Chains A and B, each alone.
Chain A
Amino acid sequence: SAGAPKPLPSSGPKSLREMPHPLATSSSEEMGPALTPSPDLLLPRSIADKDLSLPNGTPVDTSSPASSSSLLNRLQLDDDLDGETRDLFVTVDDPKKHVCTMETYITYRVTTKTTRAEFDLPEYSVRRRYQDFDWLRNKLEESQPTHLIPPLPEKFVVKGVVDRFSEEFVETRRKALDKFLKRITDHPVLSFNEHFNVFLTAKDLNVYKKQGMALLSKVGESVKYVTGGYKLRSRPLEFAAIGEYLDTFSLKLGTIDRIAQRIIKEQLEYLVELREYGPVYSTWGGLEIELSEPLEGVSACIGNCCTALEELGEDMTDDFLPVLREYILYSESMKNVLKKRDQVQAEYEAKLEAVALKKEDRPKVPTDVEKCQDRAECFNADLKADMERWQNNKRQDFRQLLMGMADKNIQYYEKCLTAWESIIPLLQDKPETK
């Protein structure tokens, strides 16, 4: 109908983002009679900011949340979520060990707080194990192949070398899993994914996993970009650039990983020597009378430096290296998405060419070629948007990571400085004349 759109039912002042997304397929009571935005209102994003009047000339009231321009604003798919308008919060914490007859494993508590209509309740608390996260990631890759899916921490650990149940390992993993879910939460498309929803809410995820195909929703999800064997003629410049960037990027990260590991190793060897060095001063102190206090002091001081160095090594191992490795995994999965994109484009171009070679007696391009074109264009758009987002997040993540590394080193030197400064008065102390 071309009449004035009915104002959206509202149960009180709410922030814009709390209003259900008009294009969401869930059936919330708040929606009332099915509201289908008329074609007139499906305006391209760039116009949404300007002053508007409705097709029948009525000026648009932009003040109340229920007005049409707010509807337009909500049609913007590319929204930047800042802290105030965020409507979904997810945390991973509270690791617990489960000992069963068949196996021992760790579960983590996943807490969700939300006002989104896609969720029945405002709060959820479920327990998930690594397998479940892995399942989620696979489902996301399947159902959102045009998007960049964040990486998970490494799945396999060499049993003899790493203790899967040590506090440090579990904590490192927890942080990585938390980051994984937060990245999905921040993504405007992935965060609305149905599998993600179930992951956050289902009491028993295994039941859902078994149901498998039965719960796949209607639109778009079963689109499997099953392409194969098409050769790409030319890659668009920007995607070629992304590919090259990712190659160099992951190379450099690999180098940094090796350097960081080498530093940790060298510091460990330094620590070994220091651990022998300190006690010799103590031995000497036992030999002397007047010098025993100063010598003991130096010995204790070196001991403090040893502790500080140990802490630095642990911090770098637990906090720095895993994030670095995460980004290397991220780059790898992103390169795979780029390959898929190439495949989609190649398929489209191949089919287009096949049609062009046939005698042109049809005015319109056949629908399946049109579908290919859509697919290719959607893919490019999604990927481009995700890349921009990724670049920005990457910059922030590395800024934080490297500042953290610098901080840890500063703290190490400050601890040592305190130790040595505190010993100066002890060394300068004049003993009482006997």
Chain B
Amino acid sequence: RAVESQSEGQCAPVDSLWRRYSEFELLRNYLSVTYPHIVVPPLPEKRADFVWHKLSADNMDPDFVERRRIGLENFLLRVASHPVLCEDKIFYSFLTQEGGWKEMVSETGFQLKADSRLKALNATFRVKNPDKRFTELKHYSDELQSVISHLLRVRARVADRLYGVYKVHGNYGRVFSEWSAIEKEMGDGLQSAGHHMDVYAASIDDILEEEEHYADQLKEYLFYAEALRAVCRKHELMQYDLEMAAQDLTSKKQQCEELATGTVRTFSLKGMTSKLFGQETTEQREAKIKVLEEQIQEGEEQLKSKNLEGRDFVKSAWADIERFKEQKNHDLKEALISYAVMQISMCKKGIQVWTNAKECFSKM
């Protein structure tokens, strides 16, 4: 596969080196696993999506490649400006170390830490007491993803239609020119007006090219929604783990108690079988109790540390989420402003062209 992008090191001994898209993906996966409480910046899209018909959906298209390059650069800037992520050694090596970076990453063994696919994607496990803020945030990220997708899809259709409107005006240019040939006094005015119609028709290409940058800004936050959801799911997972561990501990304690007192409070298959096939000997029972007591102690320690982990996670994750929210509000506002500025520029160009045409008509 051809080399797709170039990155630049920051304060590094080696100024620049070559990285493939797949290496960017590896970096991001590593960061996501290593810092599950951080809303990790997303990568730009791998394949062209939300295209309107004139833009090619071809990944080798130079415009697409250029926009992806900008996206990757943006990704690195995001990571570099993150208070936690920027300190990461693997990130630093990504920017500075040419060879052997991949090996370095696999040596961290981060893949082992990654939550099993099944657990991570399974949204149907039931968490009894999740932190409400995370539940709301997950809901928000789902909605955000949905609304931005919708927006990008409609925007692409709008761009398509606008393109059509502008281009048809080019036909005026041709017919005015033909018509001017048979006119005497009107001829010059018609001819020059026709030229302005051609200018108008041509102007849409640059206008829509600029708008793609706005679309890219929206796309970044579309993908950020996914990163946000990942943090929420991590919390859910941890909470689920915690609840399962607590549940397990409770049941073990119960078993222990039952064995010690000899009462069977709850139905259990073991209980049934022991009734049917005879009870255990005292030695067997006491051995079991001992094992259970050990397990209970282990379990209580684990529960304690899991609780601690959970609370730490919530705290640090929420801090980053607050940071992310501010960044998002700031960035999206900037994006909207630049979009409005683009629209204003488009309107001014339109006024200019039609004013010029009007003057030509007035000279008819």
Chain A residues in contact with chain B, CB under 8 A?
245, 248-249, 252, 255-256, 259, 262-263, 266-267, 269-270, 272-274, 276-277, 280-281, 283-284, 287-288, 290-291, 294-295, 298, 301, 395, 398-399, 402-403, 406-407, 409-410, 412-414, 416-417, 420-421, 423-424, 427-428
Judging by beta carbons under 8 Å apart, are A273 and B355 in contact?
no
Q: Tally inter-chain residue pairs, CB-CB below 8 A.
A: 134
Q: Mark B213-237, 1 if CB is under 8 A from A, else 0.
A: 0000000000000000000000000
Tell whether B364 is near chain A: CB-to-CB under 8 Å: yes
Judging by beta carbons under 8 Å apart, are B175 and A259 in contact?
yes
Q: How far is the CA of A347 from the CA of B253 in the complex (A)?
A: 125
Q: How far is the CA of A161 from the CA of B361 in the complex (A)?
A: 34
Range of interface residues on chain B?
35 or more
Give the dominant DSSP class at B's interface: helix
Judging by beta carbons under 8 Å apart, are B147 and A399 in contact?
no
Min C-beta distance of B360 to chain A, whole Å: 9
Given contact pairs A399-B364, A409-B354, A424-B344, a sample of 5 additional A-B residue pairs in the complex whose CB atoms are under 8 Å apart:
A269-B164, A277-B151, A287-B147, A414-B351, A424-B341
Q: Take A280-B151, A290-B329 as given contacts and tell me if A259 and B350 are in contact as well, using a CB distance cutoff of 8 Å.
A: no
9 inter-chain pairs at a CB distance below 8 angstroms, sorted by A residue, are A263-B169, A270-B161, A273-B161, A280-B151, A284-B148, A287-B147, A395-B186, A410-B355, A413-B348
Judging by beta carbons under 8 Å apart, are A291 and B337 in contact?
no
Min C-beta distance of B335 to chain A, whole Å: 10
One of A406, A417, A421 near B358 (C-beta < 8 A):
A406
Q: Take A406-B358, A416-B347 as given contacts and tell me if A423 and B340 are in contact as well, using a CB distance cutoff of 8 Å.
A: yes
Judging by beta carbons under 8 Å apart, are B358 and A410 in contact?
yes
Q: For residue A259, which residues in chain B have a CB less than 8 angstroms away from its CB?
A: 168, 171-172, 175
Q: How far is the CA of A276 from the CA of B147 in the complex (A)?
A: 12
Q: For residue B351, which residues in chain A have a CB less than 8 angstroms away from its CB?
A: 410, 413-414, 417
Q: For residue B168, which residues in chain A have a CB less than 8 angstroms away from its CB?
A: 259, 262-263, 266
Q: How far is the CA of A272 from the CA of B160 in the complex (A)?
A: 12
Tell whether B26 is near chain A: CB-to-CB under 8 Å: no
Min C-beta distance of B171 to chain A, whole Å: 5
Tell whether B154 is near chain A: CB-to-CB under 8 Å: yes
Q: How far is the CA of A245 from the CA of B183 in the complex (A)?
A: 9
Q: How far is the CA of A195 from the CA of B155 in the complex (A)?
A: 60
Q: For residue B131, which residues in chain A have a CB less than 8 angstroms away from its CB?
A: none
Judging by beta carbons under 8 Å apart, are A403 and B144 in contact?
no
Tell whether B140 is near chain A: CB-to-CB under 8 Å: yes
Min C-beta distance of A426 to chain B, whole Å: 9
Q: For residue A294, which residues in chain B have a CB less than 8 angstroms away from its CB?
A: 333, 336
Judging by beta carbons under 8 Å apart, are A267 and B150 in contact?
no
Q: How far is the CA of A248 from the CA of B329 in the complex (A)?
A: 60
Q: How far is the CA of A407 from the CA of B355 in the complex (A)?
A: 8
Q: Take A395-B186, A417-B351 as given contacts and tell me if A406 and B361 are in contact as well, using a CB distance cutoff of 8 Å.
A: yes
Q: How far is the CA of A262 from the CA of B361 in the complex (A)?
A: 22
Q: How far is the CA of A414 from the CA of B344 in the complex (A)?
A: 10
Judging by beta carbons under 8 Å apart, are B364 and A402 in contact?
yes
Min C-beta distance of B161 to chain A, whole Å: 4
Judging by beta carbons under 8 Å apart, are A280 and B154 in contact?
yes
Judging by beta carbons under 8 Å apart, are B175 and A270 in contact?
no
